[in-house]
Amino acid sequence: MSEIFKGIPQIEYEGAKSRNPLAFKYYDPEKVVAGKTMREQLRFAMAWWHNLCATGTDMFGSGTADKSFGAEPGTLDHALAKVDAGFEFMEKIGVDYFCFHDIDLVPEAGDIKETNKRLDEVSDYILEKMKAMGKKNLWGTANMFSNLRYANGAGSSNSADVFCFAAAQIKKALDITVKFGGQGYVFWGGREGYESLLNTDVKFEQENIAKLMRMAVDYGRGIGFTGDFFIEPKPKEPMKHQYDFDAATSICFLRQYGLDKDFKLNIEANHATLAGHTFQHELRISAINGMLGSVDANQGDLLLGWDTDEFPFNIYDTTFCMYEILKAGGLKNGGLNFDAKNRRPSWTHEDMFKGFILGMDSFALGLIKADELIRDGRLDEFTENRYASYSSGIGAKIRSGETSLEELAARAEELGAPAQPSSGEQEYLQSVVNSVMFG
Ligand code: XUL
Ligand code: CO
């Protein structure tokens, strides 16, 4: 097998002063931050679909990037060439994990039995490479949104036959995830949502999605999958309204259908902002509900307002993401998957590496700054003091549930007029953040 990314060296850490575009400035894999190496804290993953399949096609023009890797696109040879490219890429950039959809790995055939045969062959080859190169699978999933049959959704489709196809794809994608020793299995809503309530039975569709997920859990546990199932919330795109709108909506759905013991959430930065939330908000809501599973590491462009899947660049966002993750005790079966792609004008193979260098450095710096913020202690101390009125007296009784509306009303009457709340001091706290970030 010949080298695909010719001229690209092993990407090494050179430090913040380095001006070498093909070197890490902050990501130093063996450096220990908050008790673990960066490599262990960050668990970066390559998304097969963006890195090895996406060429930059958009509504106005075809692809700009050549991802043929020396083979004819759409053939099995191409599928195998993508494996070679993917493993060479992961090795050179120093990423340990990858994530995949079933049909990222092989071209889909007209008959599902043929597609599955192709999947067997290509996944055998991937497994060989994983063993030889020590690479791991973070999570797998099935693409239940691209093919015409999923125009009305998969689990939410009005067609029971389509539902069967979704089940078949999940079954096979789980088989492969288990074969790879994958630690997660993702359900991203894809087209699980609606365009119009005029033709949609929302309750019926949500019940069916839950049934499909329940069958996936039963099957997965039956074949030895011990990792986490994840829902990846997204409010819209491709559907006008998607059922897994945001973290809170998804948690409610999982609890409603008794799936919350097997599922956690995979939070994607760009999906959070599409939902009108910050990335940190979605992480916090997941964490306080014990549902923080994994992260799709990217960022959107607020001026564009759609799912642009850019490589992470905003250090405030990566810092607050790592702040939430560190405070939650880390990601157990999850990691940081670069569900991110180069901009269409960044079309060279070298740009693929530069995208990952940007993303990995942005998160490495975010990890360093998050750890500094936590160790600085001023944010925690302020927040703790802010609720001090609940540590004793009537406040403590409210917290322990040992009071009543009558007692509280009597206390208010005794006070006569409302107490003044303390200042939120947001501007002071933002200055604290800046002094830690740039001090
Ligand atoms: C789509 C998206 C997906 C999921 C996997 O917005 O994020 O790539 O991560 O299906
Ligand atoms: Co994603």
- Domain limit, last residue, from 322, 352, 376: 376
Residue with the smallest CA separation from ligand 1 atom 6 is 307
CA distance 397 to 404: 9
Q: Which of 50, 78, 101, 277 is catalytic?
A: 101
- Same-domain pairing of 383 and 338: no
- Measured in Å, residue 103 CA sits from the centre of ligand 1 at 13
Annotated active-site residue 58? The verdict is no
- Same-domain pairing of 394 and 314: no
- In the block, which residue shows the tokens 């009071």? 403
| Residues whose CB is less than 8 angstroms from the CB of residue 10 and which lie 6 or more positions away in sequence, other chains included | 91, 92, 94
CA distance 70 to 68: 5
Annotated active-site residue 104? The verdict is yes
Q: Are 300 and 310 in contact (CB under 8 A)?
A: yes
Residue with the smallest CA separation from ligand 1 atom 2 is 188
- Ligand 1 pocket (Cβ < 6 Å) reads 101, 141, 186, 188, 232, 234, 268, 296, 307, 339
- Same-domain pairing of 49 and 178: yes
Classify strands 32-33 and 36-37 as parallel, antiparallel or unpaired. Answer: antiparallel
- Same-domain pairing of 262 and 391: no
- In the block, which residue shows the tokens 């996936």? 216
Q: Which of 28, 84, 96, 104 is catalytic?
A: 104
- Same-domain pairing of 356 and 430: no
- Measured in Å, residue 47 CA sits from the centre of ligand 2 at 9
Which percentage of the chain shows pLDDT scores above 70?
100
CATH number, domain with residue 35: 3.20.20.150
Query: pLDDT at position 435, please?
Result: 98
How would you write the pLDDT of the chain (439 residues) with one tens digit per residue? 699 999 999 999 999 999 999 999 999 999 999 999 999 999 999 999 999 999 999 999 999 999 999 999 999 999 999 999 999 999 999 999 999 999 999 999 999 999 999 999 999 999 999 999 999 999 999 999 999 999 999 999 999 999 999 999 999 999 999 999 999 999 999 999 999 999 999 999 999 999 999 999 999 999 999 999 999 999 999 999 999 999 999 999 999 999 999 999 999 999 999 999 999 999 999 999 999 999 999 999 999 999 999 999 999 999 999 999 999 999 999 999 999 999 999 999 999 999 999 999 999 999 999 999 999 999 999 999 999 999 999 999 999 999 999 999 999 999 999 878 899 999 999 999 999 999 9
Domain that residue 56 falls in: 29-376
CA distance 181 to 184: 9
The one-letter amino acid code at 284 reads R
Residue with the smallest CA separation from ligand 1 atom 10 is 188
Beta bridge partners of residue 187, listed in sequence order? 231
- Measured in Å, residue 388 CA sits from the centre of ligand 2 at 40
Kindly provide the b/e burial profile for residues 200-220, where b requires at least 16 CB atoms within 10 angstroms of the residue's own CB. Answer: beeeebbebbbebbeebbeeb
Which one, of 382, 232, 205, lies nearest residue 296 by Cα?
232
- Same-domain pairing of 372 and 432: no
Other beta carbons within 10 Å of 373 = 21
Kindly provide the b/e burial profile for residues 314-343, where b requires at least 16 CB atoms within 10 angstroms of the residue's own CB. Answer: bbebbbbbbbbbbebeebebbbbbbbbbbe
Which one, of 98, 119, 121, 99, lies nearest residue 107 by Cα?
119
Tell me the best of 98, 185, 188 to mutate to test the pocket of ligand 1, counting ligand atoms within 8 Å of each CB and taking the most.
188
Atom of ligand 1 nearest to the CA of 143: 10
Query: pLDDT at position 418, please?
Result: 81
- Measured in Å, residue 309 CA sits from the centre of ligand 1 at 9
The one-letter amino acid code at 15 reads G
Does a structural domain hold residue 425?
yes
Atom of ligand 1 nearest to the CA of 101: 10
Tell me the best of 53, 170, 187, 296 to mutate to test the pocket of ligand 1, counting ligand atoms within 8 Å of each CB and taking the most.
296
Does a structural domain hold residue 24?
no
Query: pLDDT at position 424, please?
Result: 97
- Same-domain pairing of 372 and 414: no
- Measured in Å, residue 114 CA sits from the centre of ligand 1 at 25
Query: pLDDT at position 419, please?
Result: 77
Classify strands 12-13 and 23-24 as parallel, antiparallel or unpaired. Answer: parallel
The count of domains in the chain is 2
| Residues whose CB is less than 8 angstroms from the CB of residue 268 and which lie 6 or more positions away in sequence, other chains included | 232, 233, 234, 295, 296, 298, 339
Does a structural domain hold residue 298?
yes
- Coil, helix or strand for 303? coil
- Same-domain pairing of 351 and 399: no
Which one, of 139, 136, 107, lies nearest residue 122 by Cα?
107
